[in-house]
Amino acid sequence: MRIRLISIAILSLLLAGTAQANSLADAIQKRYDSMQSFQADFQQELSNAASGSVEKRSGKIWFKQPSLVRWETQKPEKELLVVGQSAVWNYFEGDKMAMKYRSNQVFNSKTMIRFLSGKANLKEDFKIEDQGTDGGLTKLRLLPKEPEPTMVLAYIWVDPKTSVLGKVLIVDFFGNGNQVTLIGLTSDKRPDAKLFEFTPPAGTQVKDNTKNK
């Protein structure tokens, strides 16, 4: 009888945690649907499971509805990712190289940009588990209902007061991690539309991937 009571208690806690996680997922979705724009500094850590190495990056990110993103890596090397109205550009200043993609090539897969811009549908795409509080943020574990090689597991850290993401960690099939922490996020300044436009500088080698599936 005692074991049965303990099992019931554990089940009750799990169900309560799931309900709370789903409620927070709804709040996140609602918050990002209403957020017209934001900008923040970011710190990124790319970890390699095989070697144990960690590459650290930092820079700035801007977002504007409906799906405009400017991701500007400043250290250790300059790299620019611009998600515009009709195309996506990835520009490597040091190599004088630019890659061009269709917008749906970015948003149709489970990428970091989809999380940070609130375009990932948490309740539809993931099984959500409440992991408690970490550093003042609520931590959620996301198990994709349809895993992809680029993401088999994810964690998000959410400010419970604002329902805005503070940190995201994506783990791929090989156990490599991509973690991004947002710092000083503000949503009271409307970014200039020109931030989401890109023209390759003269002398840039351009690789057009817009015709690829």
pLDDT at 13 over 60: no
Q: How far apart are CA 148 and CA 129, in angstroms?
A: 19
Bridge partners of 140, per DSSP, are 130, 156
pLDDT at position 26 is 81
Q: How far apart are CA 85 and CA 104, in angstroms?
A: 11
- Prediction pTM value: 0.81
> What average pLDDT is seen over the chain?
82
Tell me the per-residue pLDDT of 105-136, one tens digit each, with 9 for 90 and over. Answer: 665 555 777 777 777 778 788 888 888 888 88
Q: Put the strands of the sheet holding 153-158 in their side by side order.
A: 126-134, 137-144, 153-158, 165-171, 177-186, 37-47, 54-64, 68-75, 79-83, 88-92, 97-101, 205-208
- Which of the 8 DSSP states describes residue 151? B
Instruction: Report whether 29 contacts 124 (CB < 8 A).
Output: no
Tell me the per-residue pLDDT of 48-102, one tens digit each, with 9 for 90 and over. Answer: 999 999 999 999 999 888 788 899 999 999 999 998 888 889 999 999 999 998 8
Other Cβ atoms less than 10 A from the Cβ of 147: the count is 13
